[in-house]
Amino acid sequence: MSDTAQKPAAGDLAQIFEPIREDLDAVEREFHRHIQSRVALIPEMGRYIQKSGGKRVRPAVLLMASRLSGYTGERAVLYASVVEFIHTATLVHDDIIDGADLRRGRLAVHSRWGNDITVLLGDYLYIKSMALALTYDSLEIIRELCDVTLRMIEGELYQLTKAGDVDITEEEHFEIIRRKTAFLFGGCAQIGGMLGAVSAEEETALRDYGFNLGIAFQLVDDLLDYTADQVALGKPIGADLREGKVTLPVILLLQRGGDEAGRLIRSVVAERTVTPEQWREILRLLHEHRVTQLAYDRAVEYAERAKACLAAFPPSPEKDALAALPDYVLSRDR
């Protein structure tokens, strides 16, 4: 993350997911099957989204948590597919809200098909997710999925109220992270536990594992906007700041960089653009004040909290995979 930041050695994601490889493949097939419609545009857009990549971390967490909890039935794949529908719906809506032209190095869905069609696709995906969840009569899981989805939408709305707010506090920023990202990760792990035969304490431990993993994931994601290669990242450099998103690296820089950093950041956020010279200066200040290291250290804290939650479970390949995932998150470069 910086000249001094030490990334952990992390396994390849395919290696981490190996215990659930067949189930993840089944999730892909379920997504493709349920995106079918007599309206040809819907499967066309669905295929485009599938081919855009994505690491499928959220459904993988649910699948591994269910295995860890002793569950081996078919419902895990179904609920993992539900989670992927929900996550995809939030992505297509978020890209419209953010005005993001690229997603993972390709044209965002709304850039190719337009905002009106893409809004409706997101709505379709949300409703499809709940229709899938209703395949089984499990009110507790459906309630959890609805609660997580509402929190994510609240997080997006709250983030919009804070767009362009250079004086946003750390706590306000973390509230956005909790709602937009962490609750879904936590819900994935908790639903895995709900499918299996775990105690209330173990279910809580799984939820807390996912929640802390989600915060670490988002902190790294925010940091990559300032440290990653543009081609690897798949979006233009400085995208967050140009969209008025003041994330942890900038919050820390404003705390430590004095008037020089304050004037520069306020100018970029106000103008919603950043020149190459301004960007170089921002990167210089981040390095000078060790901000990237400090932000990375915060991600490490939450990754370690996530791993500590797994102490409640006996050794297993699924536990090893879940324990390896936080280190993978910390090692991301895209």
CATH number, position 258: 1.10.600.10
Q: Within a domain: residue 156?
A: yes
Q: What is the reported pLDDT for 248?
A: 97
pLDDT of residue 212: 98
pLDDT score recorded for residue 164: 94
Residue 7, domain member (yes or no)? no
Tell me the per-residue pLDDT of 201-250, one tens digit each, with 9 for 90 and over: 999 999 999 999 999 999 999 999 999 876 555 566 788 898 899 999 99
pLDDT for 53 equals 66
HEC profile for the chain? CCCCCCCCCCCCHHHHCHHHHHHHHHHHHHHHHHCCCCCCHHHHHHHHHHHCCCCCHHHHHHHHHHHHCCCCCCHHHHHHHHHHHHHHHHHHHHHHHHCCCEECCEECHHHHHCHHHHHHHHHHHHHHHHHHHCCCCCHHHHHHHHHHHHHHHHHHHHHHHHCCCCCCCHHHHHHHHHHHHHHHHHHHHHHHHHHCCCCHHHHHHHHHHHHHHHHHHHHHHHHHHHHCCHHHHCCCCCHHHHCCCCCHHHHHHHHHCHHHHHHHHHHHHHHCCCCHHHHHHHHHHHHHCCHHHHHHHHHHHHHHHHHHHHHHCCCCHHHHHHHHHHHHHHHCCC
pLDDT confidence of residue 107: 81
One-letter amino acid for residue 92 of the chain: V
- Asked if residue 6 belongs to a domain, the reply is no
Name the residue with tokens 């609750």. Answer: 183
| pTM for the whole structure | 0.91
pLDDT of residue 38: 86
- Residue 112 domain flag: yes
The answer to whether residue 8 is domain-embedded is no
Q: How many Cβ atoms from other residues are within 10 Å of residue 307's Cβ? A: 17
CB 145 within 8 A of CB 133: yes
Total count of domains within the chain: 1
Given this model, what pLDDT does residue 141 score?
A: 95
Does residue 3 lie in a domain region?
no
Question: What is the spatial distance between Cα 226 and Cα 224, in angstroms, rounded to a whole number?
Answer: 5
Mean pLDDT by 10-residue block, N- to C-terminus, for the chain (334 residues)?
45 87 93 87 85 84 97 94 92 82 77 89 92 89 95 94 96 97 98 95 98 98 87 68 94 96 96 92 96 97 98 94 96 81
Q: Which pLDDT score is estimated for 37? A: 87
Q: Would you say residue 2 lies in a domain?
A: no
Task: Residue 52: give the domain boundaries.
Answer: 13-331
The 8 Å CB, 24+ separation contacts for 242-246 are: 242/268, 242/272, 242/273, 242/274, 243/98, 243/99, 243/100, 243/163, 243/272, 244/163, 244/164, 244/165, 244/269, 244/272, 245/159, 245/163, 246/162, 246/165, 246/166, 246/168, 246/173
Beta carbons within 8 Å of 234's beta carbon, 6+ residues apart: 102, 103, 104, 105, 106, 334
Residue 234: per-residue pLDDT: 55
- Angle at CA 207, nearest 5°, toward 133 and 88? 45
**Does residue 1 form part of some domain?**
no
- Which pLDDT belongs to residue 231? 57
Tokens of residue 138, six digits: 């499990």
d(CA 24, CA 26): 5
From residue 276, alpha-carbon distances to 111, 232, 273, 283, 288 in Å are 25, 19, 10, 11, 18
